[in-house]
Chains A and B, each alone.
Chain A
């Protein structure tokens, strides 16, 4: 099993551009999450999904959108990139509730200039 796969690994965007960060998992997990990691700030939850067709906001959702059309995929969309969105983005999945271990991908490092 590949686990959680994120693409791309690195990306540089200009202010105002848009892009989609891809995330797919092959563990048949119902729950999927997007976090961003900034130095000294830990991991902040952007959006999460408890199953196909269901998404909800986390702590820092502004400037992002998500969709969950299948169990396997959970893409994160940035519509108008801003410098404040420079960060490392991690996708994660879990089998059930928040008490289930999260399985993380290896991250996408995004720079907005």
Chain B
């Protein structure tokens, strides 16, 4: 079955810097890769997703890239702000369920 590995587990950046979180997946048949943001005391919320027929997708300050050959995908956050501080999860589809990575705690220092 699908296995999703996420790195790093924690990430600390200065406000205004960029942050990158990476995930690898095992099932070459996976074709959908969402990213969720979880704020303290709340449930995760979808922030961006990408399908396997696309190599990159952007939405304002966030972007996701996908390398199907290497079976990895990454979340890029530019011009980070304190409100970006949260736990971020990647996921891969396998085949009817989403398998989540272990999560990355992002801290943006003012």
Contact = CB atoms under 8 A, between A and B. Distances in A.
Interface of A: 4, 35, 40-45, 48, 58-59, 90, 92, 97-99, 101-102, 104-107
Interface residues of B, number: 25
Q: Interface on chain A toward B: helix, strand, loop, or mixed SS?
A: loop
Given A97-B96, A98-B96, A101-B34, A42 B44 contact: no
A104 B44 CA distance: 6
Interface stretch (B13-21, B62-70, B76-84, B97-105): B97-105
B61 interface: no
A84 B104 CA distance: 23
Given A42-B103, A43-B100, A99 B93 contact: yes
Nearest to B103: A42
A43 B44 contact: yes
A90 B46 CA distance: 14
Contacts of B32: 98-99
Nearest to B96: A98
B45 interface: yes
Given A42-B101, A42-B103, A98-B97, A90 B44 contact: yes
A41 B45 contact: no
B43 interface: yes
B41 interface: yes
B97 A40 contact: no
Contacts of B36: 102
A102 B103 contact: no
Given A40-B9, A40-B103, A107 B98 contact: no
Among B41, B44, B93, which residue has the most Cβ atoms of chain A within 10 A? B44
Given A40-B103, A42-B102, A42-B103, A98 B43 contact: no
Among B43, B45, B46, B98, which residue has the most Cβ atoms of chain A within 10 A? B43
